[in-house]
DNA sequence: GTCTATAGGCGGATAGAC
DNA sequence: GTCTATCCGCCTATAGAC
């Protein structure tokens, strides 16, 4: 919007703005952990930062805009860890990579439970995410579709069964999200995706307390079976076993 | 605690107390829908009821106690609908009943999204459910175990595969929850349970918006596959098809 | 059991000086 | 960009009269 000659003072000003913005978001994330998204308050953030509440409005026009920024950051952070896992196992088979990405998602969720709740927990009452969150939200899905595409191009993808009554729906989903994949695969993947988040959510939100103890192994086995369900040929053991 | 001779005035008083308690909980549930559990407020409930906030403390000693009552009610309501579905299909095979119960859970969750969020959504910050919620929470699980037991006693239960590294965990879970079922079954059921709630949660919390359209059929197919995963022999179509 | 009154907080958001 | 001051609302919880 302003000039592009990038003189030093303007650069410094812009840098300061970025730093303060980051500090606000960091503090907000801490508050997210303590009080939850529903109670995120600009005033409390300002107080902890030694600022006055009205100053924050120069950075975020409203509480909801701050929330939106946190959501986008969370999706991007989750997406990055999925992409990193994919790239780390770039030479492994698609089944291997599937498990690695699932484990990365679980690891991220366990490390950032409150941000996980923000994007995959119950909705924040009175808040509706704007469309600007969509690209960040799509990153994880793209990682999975990439793995399925690789498998499809190679020879590692079996077609899941699909009842006739579900075929129209599967074809619509495939047309919308991955026209280069078989409809059976896309439908099975969407179901597996939701189920994956059931496994992660139960663990992160404490429903496995006093139920599952060896959660890491339990999870690996479950996502291996999910991989099988979408048609991926998968290794007997997960990627962690390859390292030890 | 008091006398047991049940004279009319005492009965009337007790009835009134029950009625007011119910009215408070009803209003609180409405507020749950509008504002979410994190913002549930005794004052707002009192205002809507035409009472004064301090009067509510005669019924619930604190905000958290009211929340606990709502959680127990929700678990019981969910459990009842699961039991009702099981009983409606008492004569059908276990696979049929599995699907019917899953569909009942989904139906309940869609009809009571905010109460569903209360029991299976992200935790309410600063609130920790007391142990008094456990019996109500266990009802749904018992319905599923009952179905699996029937199948096991009959001939309709295949043993899911179980990697050696997971066997100790599976045996511990079986000993804790269903000693009369094979460990393979118990482990597979726990995973299926979490996955089922992933499917329900994604739909209830809106993650399937613009992704899945024919959600009922999609769900039925997914839970049929879950049934298969735990070793149940299941019918090609769900119970709804039997009626139409 | 219900009321008034009160204590001691909290919040979002804006206006206008500097 | 940050400040003070302000508006107007909200909350949990208790004391003490009736």
The CB-side HSE value for B19 (13 A sphere, CA atoms) comes to 6
Three-state DSSP class for A157? strand
Tokens of B26: 């009803």
Q: Beta partners for B161?
A: none
Residue A89 banded pLDDT, cuts 50, 70, 90: very high
Instruction: Supply the DSSP string of B13-42, one letter for each residue.
Output: HHHHHHHHHHHHHHHHHHHHHHH-GGG--H
| pLDDT tens column, A93-123 | 999 999 999 999 999 999 999 999 999 999 9
Top-level CATH class of A70-243? mainly alpha
Residue A124: its chain B contacts at CB < 8 A?
36
Helical packing angle, B113-120 and B63-88, nearest 10° = 110
Please check whether residue B42 is in contact with residue B66, taking contact to mean a CB–CB distance below 8 angstroms: yes
> What SS3 state is found at A29?
helix
What's the pLDDT at A206? 95
What residues 177-196 of chain A have any CB closer than 8 A to a CB of chain B? 177, 187, 190-191, 193-196
Q: Give contacts of A197 with chain B, Cβ < 8 Å.
A: 198, 201-202, 207
Question: Strand pairing partners for A165?
Answer: none
Nucleotides of D under 7 A from a protein CB: 1-5, 10-16
Look up tokens 């995410």; give the residue.
A129
The whole-number average pLDDT for the span A3-8 is 43
Burial A27-61 (b: 16+ CB within 10 A, else e): bbbebbeebbbbbbebebbbeebebeeeebeebbe
Predicted confidence (pLDDT) per residue in A58-71, tens digit: 999 999 999 999 99
Angstrom CA distances, A141 to A11, A82, A144, A194, B28, stand at 36, 9, 5, 11, 38
- A131: region left, alpha or beta (phi > 0 left; psi from -120 to 50 alpha): alpha
pLDDT digits (tens, 9 = 90+) for A153-185: 998 899 999 999 999 999 999 999 999 999 999
Q: Using CB atoms and an 8 Å cut-off, which of residues 142-181 of chain A contact chain B?
A: 162-163, 165-166, 168-169, 172-173, 177
**Measured distance CA(A200)–CA(A23) in Å, rounded:** 29
* Residue B115: HSE in the Cβ half-sphere, 13 Å Cα cutoff: 26
> Domain spanning B71-239 has what CATH number?
1.10.357.10
CA distance B237 to chain A (A): 9
Which among A121, A125, A217 is the nearest to B166, CB-wise?
A217
**pLDDT tens, position by position, for chain B (244 residues)?**
343 444 445 678 788 889 999 999 999 999 998 889 999 999 999 999 999 999 999 999 888 899 999 999 999 999 999 999 999 999 999 999 999 999 999 999 999 999 999 999 999 888 888 999 999 999 999 999 999 999 999 988 999 999 999 999 999 999 999 999 999 999 999 999 999 999 999 999 999 999 999 999 999 999 999 999 999 976 544 444 333 2
Instruction: Give the pLDDT confidence of A183-203 residue by residue, as tens digits.
Output: 999 999 999 999 999 999 999
Question: Best residue in B164, B198, B229 to probe A by mutation, most A CBs within 10 Å?
Answer: B198
Torsion of CA B64, B68, B74, B79, to 10 degrees: 160
Per domain, the residue ranges of chain A are: 1-61, 70-243
How far apart CA A104 and CA A85 sit, in angstroms, is 6
Adjacent-strand bridge partners of A157: A232
Domain B8-61 has CATH 1.10.10: yes
The answer to whether A223 and A196 have CB atoms below 8 angstroms apart is yes
Please state which CATH class domain A1-61 belongs to.
mainly alpha
Q: Which residues pair with B232 in a beta bridge?
A: B157
B117 closest CA partner among B54, B33, B61, B46: B33
Q: Which nucleotides of chain C does any protein CB come within 7 A of?
A: 1-5, 10-16
Extract the tokens encoding B21: 């308690």
> Contact A103/A238 with Cβ under 8 angstroms?
yes
The whole-number Å distance from A52's CA to C8's C1' is 21
Residues B117-131 pLDDT 10s: 999 999 988 888 899
On whether any CB of chain B is under 8 Å from the CB of A39, the answer is: yes
Burial of B49 (0-12, 13-18, 19+ CB in 10 A): middle
A 68-107 residues with CB below 8 A of B?
A: none
């Amino acid at each position: 919007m302003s000039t592009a000659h990038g003189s030093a003072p303007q650069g410094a000003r812009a840098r300061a703005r970025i730093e303060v913005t980051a500090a606000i978001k960091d503090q907000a994330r801490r508050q997210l952990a303590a009080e939850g998204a529903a109670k995120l308050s600009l005033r409390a953030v300002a107080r902890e930062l030694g600022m006055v509440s009205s100053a924050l409005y120069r950075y975020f026009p409203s509480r909801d805009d701050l929330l939106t920024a946190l959501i986008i950051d969370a999706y991007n952070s989750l997406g990055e860890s999925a992409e990193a896992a994919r790239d780390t196992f770039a030479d492994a088979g698609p089944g291997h990579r599937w498990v690695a990405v699932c484990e990365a998602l679980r690891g991220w969720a366990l490390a950032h439970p409150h941000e996980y709740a923000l994007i995959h927990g119950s909705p924040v009452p009175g808040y509706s995410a704007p469309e600007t969150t969509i690209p960040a939200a799509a990153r994880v899905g793209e990682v999975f579709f990439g793995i399925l595409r690789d498998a499809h191009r190679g020879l590692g993808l079996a077609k899941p069964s699909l009842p006739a009554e579900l075929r129209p729906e599967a074809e619509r989903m495939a047309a919308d999200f991955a026209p280069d994949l078989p409809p059976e695969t896309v439908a099975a993947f969407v179901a597996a995706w939701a189920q994956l988040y059931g496994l992660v959510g139960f663990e992160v939100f404490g429903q496995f307390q006093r139920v599952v103890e060896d959660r890491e192994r339990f999870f690996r086995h479950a996502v291996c079976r999910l991989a099988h369900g979408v048609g991926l040929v998968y290794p007997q053991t997960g990627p962690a076993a390859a390292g030890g």
